[in-house]
Amino acid sequence: MNKHNMTTEKGIPSNSRVLMLFGQLEKLNRESMLVDPEIARQITAKVLHLIQTQEKTRKEIMSKASSGMEVILATLENTQDLQTILNILYILNELLTVGGGRRIGVFVSKGGTGILLQLVIRASKESPPSEEFMLQLHSVLAKVGPKDRKFGVKARLNGALNVTVNLLKQNLQNHKLLLPCLLVLQVYSSNTVNAVSLGKNGVVELMFRIIGPYSKKNTSLLKVSLDTLGALLKSKTNAQRAVVHVPVLLYIYQDWHRNDTRHRHILIRKGILGCLKNITNIKLGRKAFIDADGMRILYNTSNECLPVRTLDPLINTSSLIMRKCFPKNRLPLSTIKSVFHHQLLRVPAGGPVAQLYNQPLGVDDVVDESDNNEDAEAENDTENEVEEKYRHAGNDDVETDINKLRPKETHSRPFEELKIYERFFMELSEDFQVFNFDNPKRGVTATPAAPKSHRPIIVPTAQALPLKTPTAAPLQGECPHPAPVPALGLDTINITKDQDGCGDHTHSRSHPGAGLEQELVQGLERVALDGAGPQGGGGGVNKHNRQPPILAGAVAARLGGEGEEMSAEDWAEEEESDEGAVLHVPDTALLLPLHDPDLYMEMVKSTRSVPQFSEVAYPDYFGHVAPTSREHILERVYGVQRTKIFQDIERLIHPNDILDKVVYDLDIQSCTVVDGGESLKFNSQFESGNLRKAVQVRKFEYDLVLNSDINSNHYHQWFYFEVSGMRVGAPYRFNIINCEKSNSQFNYGMQVLMYSVQEAISGRPRWVRTGTDICYYKNHFSRSSIAAGGQKGKSYYTMTFSMTFNHKDDVCYFAYHYPYTYTTLKMHLQKLEALRTPQTYLREDVLCETLGGNSCPLLTITAMPESTSNDQICQFRNRPLVFLSSRVHPGETNASWVMKGTLEFLMGSSPLAHSLREAYIFKIVPMLNPDGVVNGNHRCSLSGEDLNRQWQNPSPELHPTIYHTKSLLQYLAAIQRAPLVFCDYHGHSRKKNVFMYGCSLKETVWETNISATSCELHEDLGYRTLPKILSQMAPAFSMASCSFVVERSKEATARVVVWREIGVQRSYTMESTLCGCDQGKYKGLQIGTRELEEMGAQFCVALLRLKRLTSPLKLRNHAHLLDVESDLMETRCKVSSNPSTYLLEDEEASFMEEVDYSAESGDEPDTADNHLSESNNHRDSLT
């Protein structure tokens, strides 16, 4: 070897002794070891001595510039002398034991693995093979194998696999040799094909001969044996072979649990559980586990481990096994289709709705009978990992067709078709000649420019549907129970602000003081609509038409005055009087200028629902005043999820403790049975309500089932229901058991919302964040493959929370987010119109009627011209348009609260609001899906489809609101007046903060591997301007969370279609979190209506700044715009007193409680069993 090859890196002398020895060894290699092998033994022995005594020598050999490793491997490959080989193996063991993966990587890169495997084959041909040789060889292989990705394949092709297995079988009592062989076998087993081959060779049964009950001896060997067995059992075929050993594993686990009192062998116990976990991935394994009483064994041992924090890994794995083996149950429903039905006159040609209508009678759509193809949903307890998976899955969804990323140059509809929409744009042609500018107060009432149009574009489907008018309700219901209580209509409720009414108190009670609390609960259950007693008819489900519950006289007696209790004498006097009930409505007129209970009750009568709701929820009637205090994101209590899961498991272990009592069921027409107050009472039969069934599981625990969207069999997320009959201080637990999403912000600090009627009447009418021990995890209720898009083995998820009530005889409401009903919108719009000033141009049109017969309002807001001069009229007509829409998804109620903030700001009297009206003409569709909102849907309209996936080709019969909204935009594009900004308000259930999705050709291409020329990627960056302005002004807004990538799955959404087809560069979806913020001024706080309305107002303020930035240069310094800029700066300083700190990713920190809450593990066919490629990867996508 020449000196150049043997030089070393700086700092190490080139004439060192080890390099001299390597030079001699290299010379021997060139001579093919023809000389006396004793020389090679001596040289390698000296090298070994230097390595064992000098760390510097090890560094010399493994340095980058050294060729020492090549010399060692060449010697190992050429020599036939056993002692020389042993010396080199000793050297390799010394070198690779320290230094981490880098040294092993060098060894692998130089072909060391192949040489070692050849030695295994060579040694196997000797009879018997040298024990020391095999020991050292497998020791080195055990170190090298995990770092060589091809190790398993090389060993199988080379034949070393069988050599190791035979060596293992022949040396079961030789623990010294057994340990390295098992380590190598464990690495072999990481390859699926190898694992199957080893199983056929009897290695699984061999492992069960090695492992055994508790012993203080050979614990290291037992640990490695369990790890090797666990690796083998990842194969479905091997798991089937091990099913018969499940009782043995449970016995061994119990024995180690019982004897390992000092917890020194946690890894052994965890290894046993790991084997059980892999066996129970298959159906036979789960059955064997149940038959061997595994549930009780793991439950008891886990409970005994709870006091010791270091045993959490055992508890978590046990929990996973138990949940996986919990027998699959069907939801307690006869069908997962919505309990309400709306007959479509035209059924879509394909898709889920068509499948629903074509489904044969008798097909069980509740549960999938075969669960042997369960897919492994790898969920994690950290939101960042879930988001990362979501992001990677999204990369495959990015649009790669350049042609689809360019705006269309031709309009798809002829102008003659669009001319009918001209009447919605009267402001573009109005000359205001009849408006009295000298006396604007008179002019406001007489102006023809801002009429309230009630002429909708009639959709044939909506026109054909019979409109339901509730008929008068009888005084007494048809309930066959004694002592019926007369109904009290709206007109007989005394609103204490102004009027008295009369009620019918003809019924009598034998004991006036008795039953007061029960009567009070009945009285507080809900407000009944005047004369709202549906008697049947099409559109709804007749079997659910029932007499409305009542507001009894007990309300006034119990909650009169300041909510003080009345004596029995007072109660009796009140009972005998002829006066009706007095409902004390909290006076919130100053705090809620847009809310009026009287007006709400008037408006709700014209709201049409499929179930023909005849009741009004108290929160919608009283209104909501945002709390003055901030509501912090809930800190997760350590172990809460585990505790909840164990309580679920107890249902199987102690079935006699389960009541399983149905206390509320929309599927069954029956009257509520008085049960002595042992159960809560539920109700959801009011606008936007959603609760289908309530089952009392234990004394204070209830399973709740949500209703599917109408004409659908899924979309379970939104809930809004009433609870009464509670006990003060009792620890109630509520489980919503048919959630569908794989993760939720309920795992990251979000709380449910509760509204207390007692609190409202006491002067605090508000929704508050509440609930403790909140978590979200996969449960044992099986999802039908029909509802899961054909995927088998899917499970539902449980959202669980605990609650204690503070008031006796209260009526409380729970909701997913702050409710905002269609009737609330109608009330707000009427109140806004009353606030209009002479300088404000406001017109409300009815765009169209929905499938359910509700009107879809369209607003036009701008500033009146200062005069009828040509300049003023020209300026008025040529203002740029801003098009806003909201609430296409009914469950995203936060979008309506943001829209409320926008509308209030636009109609306000501030200088900024006036400037904004002068700058733009606003066209606003505040609720794109009234039917979905009214009927308590989460995502769909009455057509059973997601309206925000219909923008490419909306149907006027099935999607009228989308069809006509798109037509408005098409009309504007046809007359060259496309909006400057289009924004669709939404809510986001998985992320924090407020952020935007936009559309960018460049940013989409950057996310893909497609090639494009610079001219093809030419794009104005103006689409980023508005989000950047918002990030500077709005404390809840996060620029870091924004995305401008166009995905294939979103190509039919409003944002993408308006960008592509209408040519609006600034086309956005603005997403508001349902949870809270993790940056800026509101960091660590849950979002409330105050913050949402503020966001809507800040959006308006940002549009003002955008106006200045998009104005021609000569106008940017105009005095008016400079004044506006000054106001904007002041506003920004006030809002951003606590500057936002933007994170690169809006993700969560890991929980201390590392619980894998996926209830299933993979039960997929083995790749080897099906002779598939070893590199076949399975990825779960979040939907």
- The DSSP letter of residue 1066 is E
Angle between helices 175-189 and 151-158 (to 10 degrees): 110
Residue 502 β-bridge partners = 579
Q: Establish how many alpha carbons lie within 13 A of residue 679's alpha carbon, considering only the half-sphere containing its beta carbon.
A: 19
How many whole angstroms separate alpha carbon 940 and alpha carbon 497?
39
Q: Do 750 and 632 meet the contact criterion of CB atoms below 8 Å apart?
A: no
Q: Which two tokens stand for residue 70?
A: 């090549």
Q: Which of 1032, 1182, 1173, 1166 lies closest to 232 in space, CA to CA?
A: 1166
What type of residue is 9?
Answer: E
| Diameter of the chain measured on Cα atoms | 125
Query: Which is it for strands 981-988 and 881-886: parallel, antiparallel or unpaired?
Result: parallel
Amino acid residing at 459: V
Question: Cα angle at 246 between 244 and 250, to 5 degrees?
Answer: 150
Contacts of 410 (CB under 8 A, 6+ apart): none
Alpha helices in 80-130 (DSSP H): 82-97, 100-109, 112-124
The vertex-889 CA angle with 885 and 891, nearest 5°, equals: 125
Could you give phi then psi for residue 925, rounded to 5 degrees? Answer: -110, 95
Cβ 461 vs Cβ 345: under 8 Å? yes
Per annotation, catalytic residue among 1071, 1093, 1094, 1160: 1071
Q: Give the list of residues 6+ apart from residue 891 with CB closer than 8 angstroms, or none.
A: 717, 718, 816, 817, 937, 938, 939, 987
Q: Whole-angstrom Cα distance, residue 409 to residue 1063?
A: 8
Is 1071 one of the annotated active-site residues of the chain?
Answer: yes
Which pair of tokens denotes residue 72?
């060692």
Q: DSSP secondary-structure letter at 337?
A: S
Q: What is the DSSP string of 226-244?
A: HHHHHHHTTSHHHHHHHGG
| CA 1145/CA 854 separation, integer angstroms | 41
Residue with tokens 């509320």: 664
Q: Are 1148 and 216 in contact (CB under 8 A)?
A: no
Find how far residue 806's CA is from the centre of its chain: 31
Of residues 283, 385, 267, the one with CA closest to residue 324: 283
1124-1132 CB contacts, 8 Å cutoff, 24+ apart: 1124/912, 1124/915, 1127/911, 1127/912, 1127/915, 1128/912, 1128/1033, 1128/1101, 1128/1104, 1131/912, 1131/1033, 1131/1101, 1132/1032, 1132/1033
> How far is Cα 651 from Cα 798, in angstroms, rounded to an integer?
15
Q: Which of 524, 733, 718 is nearest to 621 (CA)?
A: 524
For residue 753, the cross-strand partners are 769, 815
The SS3 call for residue 1124 is helix
What's the token pair of residue 425? Answer: 């744009």
- CB 694 within 8 Å of CB 704: yes
Alpha helices in 243-401 (DSSP H): 246-259, 266-279, 283-291, 294-305, 312-325, 352-358, 383-395
- Strand (E) positions, 101-189? none
Catalytic residues: 1071
